[in-house]
Chain A
């Protein structure tokens, strides 16, 4: 069974993420201090709410440098929702906030209107399927995802990597693409909530757990 270290820096969805990871067979170690991350093979970073508060809380608990070091050393990382956004260099939500800078790019407000000028509701709440015209999903958490299966989004901002090749998947909202997943090497981030995305979400977490496990074997 793969062991995953889950960063508990005060984010509201940590318990539901823990439950979903346990459901797909992971041995989850919930870490409330950075010392507990020592020896981690895989780190999961949850996150809900505002970017500024999340990164401040992560930083205050001393998780910033250890996560950056682990990512640089090739440890598997999965960021969820704001946990994905904080992988970026900075965010433009309520002023400018520095992120972890693990994947270069910025977190920006999603488009406010359709290509034909109709108003789009923000936050974007609801179920949308994922797609990519350029990236192959094998070897990523999206490997086993059925193409048409939608996942659950609740957000107003999305992560735009500087290098479009770091975008693993998009979702369509109001006729425009929004960034749904990013990845670079073994670092992954998903904007949606896999822990609330029915079977599709569980299959994503399961693929991640299986890849960590296969790597450790």
Chain B
């Protein structure tokens, strides 16, 4: 990863982490503040509910007291006798008095617990009241009121009418309904529901809700059941819809009746809309800040990176230039910091490298000249010595007889001519190396070139007095023609065959192979001679390097030059004692042919 990207990543991560941390902390603080405020508001509403509850209880108590003191109730109490009550006389009394005193429930019960008159269930006369009115508390309390076709929860008060022989009890109350809820004044974002715990399971019909409020009330079932089971206050978050702004925190407060049984549950709902909106604002601000921070990080990191990496890139570019051989490349020094020092050091190093290279080239050139001089001296010295001996022999023979001189002159002139011929050959090879001819491409069959090469040395392979060398040909008969200079390739192959024969003074096996892989052609020449040392293998193609007593060291160099001019390459595989294999790889070179020949080559392939 480039430095610029690393820098950008670090900057961006830093910004994102910081923004996220700030957003989380802000959100947590806001949540804490809202929860505390919600608790206070809920407590206030619950207190208001209890005050309203008590106020209503007192109001109902006043009304029931009035009923108990009414003439009708007194008459009823006085008329009670040991015999069966005259229910007909009381049938409508409860309803009439309830309407007068605006009570939803009113019952007159005698000392035996028998209902004398009841509303809204007048038909219940003569039946026993399930609630023990004799043991009822003085104050108002919650009570389940059975109706003919339903049940309701009511706030009731029981009074004893101390008239007549047998006591008469009057029990009156008002149901808890929407009016009761409407009397509460919850603050904004709060609602109060009242659940009448009239059955073992949650029933939405038992829920008293503010007018106009509709929700999927079934969602309240878990919290209501929790309160039903535990009898304790419970708080739960209700998700009314997929929109988090509709969420409400529900505080469920149980309300017990006279026997401490949970008869009602006050549900205070606190909207989380304000908190969710604030949280969304914090989140939005964090996102915007993060995005802005990332943009800033990109710009800042780009600016810093450009200041830091531009000199480094210049250094890298200069190093690449130098690696490519452009030794004059240098870096502009634009700063005086560490990078400036680095650039300065790089330039100094470059200059030193350039100087060392020049010195090295100079030294190599001198070494080459020395090597050439040594080679040349060596090559020239060999023919010169016979020349010197022949001439000295001729000079000595001149002092002898004429016949002897003629004979010696004859021999000596032959020797001189031969040695001069050698000198010419030496000079010719050096001249040839200095001006290698460019290959003239034409369509050739590689197998034929190999056969020609082998044929050239056929006499040497089976010469008497020479250890036998077996020649093995492993030709690929399906070899396609390729474009090459047949003369140059012939000479190259002849050179390799000759080297192989000379590498096997004690005989062996000469193997020649040809094969083709796609557009690449391969010729291998292997011997079973003594092989090459690793250092010999490395310098094998260096001009003037030879392992022979009388070699010029130019043969393989010329061969490599020929192969290279054909666009191919030559490699050698050899281990000491295991023989040597030279491998020439050549391309098809179809593009090097004249158009007519190229067409022939393509059709021939």
Whether chain B is bound by chain A comes out as no
B residues with CB within 8 A of A: none
